[in-house]
Amino acid sequence: MLLTRFIVVFLSIYAAHLIKPAIGKINSKNNAIIDDIVEYKDFKKLLRTKTNVLVLYTSNVKQSADHIKVFKETAGIVKGTGTMVLMDCSNADKKKLCKKLKVNPDPVTLKHYKDGDYHKDYDRKMAVSSMVNFMRDPAGDLPWEEDPAGKDVIHFGDYASFLKHLKKDMRPMLVMFYVPWCGFCKRLKPDYSKAATELKAEGYVLAGMDVERQENALARRAYNITGFPTIIYFENGKLKQIYEGDNNKDGIVSFMRDPTSVLIKKPKDADWSADTNSEIVHLTKQSFEPALKDEKSVLVMFYAPWCGHCKRMKPEYEKAAVDMKQKNIPGVLAALDATKESAIAEQYGVKGYPTVKYFVNGQFKFDVNVRDADKIVEFMKDPKEPPPPPPPEKNWEEEEDTEVVFLKDDNFSTTLKRKKHALVMFYAPWCGHCKSTKPEFNAAAKALKDDSRLILAAVDCTRETAVCSQHEVRGYPTFKYFSYLKTKQEYNGGRKREDFIAFMNKANESAVPKSKSAEQHEEL
């Protein structure tokens, strides 16, 4: 009986010993963190296959619990962009590996590895947002919101939080809309931060928003931001004016204390509604409903005085109104300054400028996408609801008939290191020049597909932001030539199938060819 019990216990322990490693592997697959590397060769293999790796080394898991919690949460967010590895150096199996790597955590050390080699120690805050920012762009500058010098600047992470803030905070506020790569923005940030600190006690707010982030694209459209930095002044939650004073601390402080004291450098545009010769009916909150309710056909242009697209449309709209009067075409062309009458604009869901809407007897019918005088007159002759927009285009990489290789942040370097000749097209799905070039690039890739020494590749910069920032992509499309990733040069040649093929064939035959003069590209 005793022998039987001994055998049962022995078999149970042996079975648990066999099953335990398997369970560990299963958990590792389901977890965003890799925590089962023991051998040095496995660690080196990981670095060869993953280009963006952050390792948390710990000598005491219990003491490092808070660090590990942040690390795990970050891993779930950056999965697919970066690789997170947990190395418990107190574990008997991993002590040898930590010693081999010359890491002695006390109790925690974080090290980053890039393109197969050690890059740097992690030197940011131990917070999820900081670690996510780092993993998205490990070689980039410290984000402004993490710089201690900018602690008194309010940083809006997305456009939605900015709009929410405008509704609840009525204090005078200056907002700097910027992008991380802008040299003027970098030079202004220290002075802007100092101004924020000086003005904080006086009840003034200085804020910043990185409009390169996809979640802030709406801000660029809403305020027609085309240059950086663009600095806008708000009072009582409403836009008042574009700041055009001196770009230094003293200039900003003086302006906030007395916005009327700063000399406006550009001549102020005349108030459109004050033009007595205009054929446009200018609406206000009080006149909106009375003016529209008895009219059978009204087109209303919602605009902002500072909006560049509105300024370009204004003379066309005026011309259309004159043409309609001369030709006895029924209907009214009206306009409403949405920055003054924001309640009306919000009521009709106006998100950008200009927005054109069609009304019948005061009832909104549909939006109209017309900007030129001829098109406006043509519409008013026979007002019809425009057809629904076509279905969204397929993502380029989802197209079946393409030989283009699509690269991402985590496979860009590993793929190009293996190719003698690679021509990479950095693009954005919305870019018109990219769309016209795409079929030519596809055709060239198809013609060259049988040569294993070369590839034509593409990177979607609206998604793969880290690699596009690393290679200083400033407009779309941008073409760059690589040879084993060591040689890199700009391609500024033609955009036709035969241009791409000739360039790659010449690269195959001899040295890297010089490309011809550049064509158009769309700025970020």
The residue type of 134 is F
Cα separation, 365 vs 96, in Å, equals 73
CA 234 to chain centre: 24
**247 CB-contact burial (10 Å; exposed 0-12 / middle 13-18 / buried 19+):** middle
Q: What would the two tokens of residue 84 be?
A: 């997170």
Q: Determine the Cα angle at 253 with ends 174 and 264, to 5°.
A: 70
CA distances for 284 relative to 14, 258, 315, angstroms: 83, 29, 21
CB-CB contact of 219 with 159 (8 Å): yes
H or E, element range at 299: strand 298-303
To the query of whether residue 461 is one of the catalytic residues in this protein, the response is: no
Match 């974080």 to its residue by tokens: 110
DSSP string, 410-427: TTHHHHHTT-SEEEEEEE
To the query of whether residue 310 is one of the catalytic residues in this protein, the response is: yes
Contacts of 457 (CB under 8 A, 6+ apart): 404, 405, 406, 407, 415, 416, 422, 423, 424, 425
Catalytic one of 89, 98, 310, 468: 310
In SS3 terms, 321-385 reads as: HHHHHHCCCCCEEEEEECCCCHHHHHHCCCCCCCEEEEEECCEEEEECCCCCHHHHHHHHHCCCC
To the query of whether residue 307 is one of the catalytic residues in this protein, the response is: yes
Rounded to the nearest 10 degrees, what angle do helices 308-326 and 373-381 cross at? 50
H or E, element range at 469: helix 465-470
Q: Which backbone phi and psi does 117 adopt, to 5 degrees? A: -130, 160
Catalytic one of 185, 431, 461, 468: 431
**64 CB-contact burial (10 Å; exposed 0-12 / middle 13-18 / buried 19+):** buried
CA distances for 21 relative to 18, 24, 230, angstroms: 7, 5, 57
H or E, element range at 29: helix 2-30
Q: Is 497 helix (H, G, I), strand (E, B) or coil?
A: helix
To the query of whether residue 89 is one of the catalytic residues in this protein, the response is: no
Catalytic one of 98, 185, 307, 461: 307
Contacts of 161 (CB under 8 A, 6+ apart): none
Catalytic one of 98, 185, 434, 468: 434
Catalytic positions:
307, 310, 431, 434
